[in-house]
Structures are given as C-alpha cells and as structure tokens.
A and B are shown apart, each in its own frame.
Chain A
Amino acid sequence: QVQLQESGPGLVKPSQTLSLSCTVSGGSVSSGNYYWSWIRQPPGKGLECLGYINYSGSIYYNPSLKSRGTISIDTSKNQFSLKLNSVTAADTAVYYCARGYNSGWYGVWGYWGQGLLVTVSS
C-alpha cells in the first residue's frame, strides 16, 4: 500500500520561497506512470489542485500559481517536491501531496498524505 508523507517548514516569511517534499513509501515515483500532485486547503476552506507531475516528464501547473510554482521528482530519494516563491498570507494552507488513483490518471486522487500546515507570516 503506497503511503505519502509531506515535510517542510511550517512557517514561511512573506516574499520567501515555500519548499515542501513528499516522501513516497510502498511504491516508486518512477514506476507505473502514476501522477503525483500537490493540493492545498486554506484553513476552513475548500481544495485547490496546484499541479501534478509524472516520471515521464509531464507536468501541469494551475494558472492560479501565476508561474510561482515548480514541481519536480527526485527518484534517488523517492520524493517529489513543490517550490512556491514570493509567498503571501494567501498561501497559508494545509498542503497535501497525493497520487493518482490509477496509472495514467491525473484527475482522481486516491492516495493522500496527512497534510502539512504552512503559515505565511513575518
């Protein structure tokens, strides 16, 4: 059973870069043509898919990031990552990493990490 775990700082200052990693266990980020995503949820609000990637190099970013985001895969660590620069208070949220439910699927997110609250504040 694949498991995902987010890691990174819980507090980031405005205008700085938010850097998160998602460590995958019970499976490989480089096999099965699975898509790996970042989804966030501001406190008390709904869900926003920020983007997703697969090992073959296909990457999608939500235009709402306005070119501030970068998603990458590190096969040596069996991780994938999110970098979001020039953060503001509006980026305060629980950040989830997730995997597509089936190989080749990038719409249904079947496996999720527990989430990491990132607060943007000075």
Chain B
Amino acid sequence: DFVVTQSPDSLAVSLGERATINCKSSQSVFYSSNNKNYLAWYQQKPGQPPKVLIYWASTRESGVPDRFSGSGSGTDFTLTISSLQPEDVAVYYCQQFYSTPQTFGQGTKVEIK
C-alpha cells in the first residue's frame, strides 16, 4: 500500500497568518500519461463529513475560497491556507488515489493561536 504521511500532526496559527501542511507519499502519485498527480485534500470540521478542497494536487473544488491552494508533485505536496480564518479550524487530510487501495494521511489539526 502507498503510505501517506502528513506533517505536522497539528499546528496553531494566528488569524490572518499562513498555515502550511505537508503530505508525503511513499511512492510517486504522478501519472505521466496525463501529467496529473493523483492527490486530493479534504477538510473535516467537528461532527461533519470530510469535504474535498483540492484534487489533482492543485485544482480547487468549485466554491472553495482561493486562500486554499495545493502544490507539489511526485511524492511531496503542500496545502497552504494563505490567511487563516476562524472557519478554517478543522482537520485536513491528504489522500492518494493513484494506487489501490487509495489511502489517506493521518490528518493535521489546524487551530487558532
């Protein structure tokens, strides 16, 4: 199985500041035939199901604020929240869907400092 590891496990950021979450896959999730990275990011707020924010590593889902951005390729990826807002308090998961079984990272909890 592809192992997906996120860092840090948690972080506290001041309102309006940048939050950065890293995601590393044990093997490359880049598919050269279509030039896509098979990686997605989800946001999960307490008591709610996950919500997809980004797929193909950097494509923002419709309606997701542009303060959320994804980057990276191959095995190393980053989710950046450029200016943290109160409603961004959540656990964030990355997921690889290049190989079966698709696997999720362990999650990163984002809080307000």
Contact = CB atoms under 8 A, between A and B. Distances in A.
A30 to B, nearest CB: 23
Interface in A33-73: 46-49, 60, 62-64
Categorize the interface residue count of chain A.
20 to 34
A122 B50 CA distance: 30
Interface string A101-115: 100001111101111
Interface stretch (B13-21, B67-75, B81-89, B103-111): B103-111
22 contacts: A46-B93, A46-B104, A46-B105, A46-B107, A47-B50, A48-B104, A49-B101, A49-B104, A60-B100, A63-B101, A96-B50, A98-B49, A101-B55, A107-B38, A107-B95, A107-B97, A107-B102, A108-B40, A108-B97, A113-B49, A114-B48, A114-B49
Nearest to B49: A112
A47 B52 contact: no
Given A101-B55, A107-B40, A96 B100 contact: no
Contacts of A64: 101
A108 B52 CA distance: 8
Contacts, number: 48
B10 to A, nearest CB: 13
Interface of B: 38, 40, 42, 48-52, 55, 61, 93, 95, 97, 100-107
Nearest to A39: B50
Interface of A: 46-49, 60, 62-64, 96, 98, 101, 106-110, 112-115
Nearest to B107: A46
Given A60-B100, A64-B101, A107-B40, A47 B93 contact: yes
The 9 A-B residue pairs with the shortest CB-CB distance in the complex, in nearest-first order: A107-B97, A112-B49, A47-B104, A62-B101, A108-B55, A46-B106, A108-B40, A49-B102, A46-B107
Nearest to A101: B52
A45 B33 CA distance: 35
Nearest to A97: B49
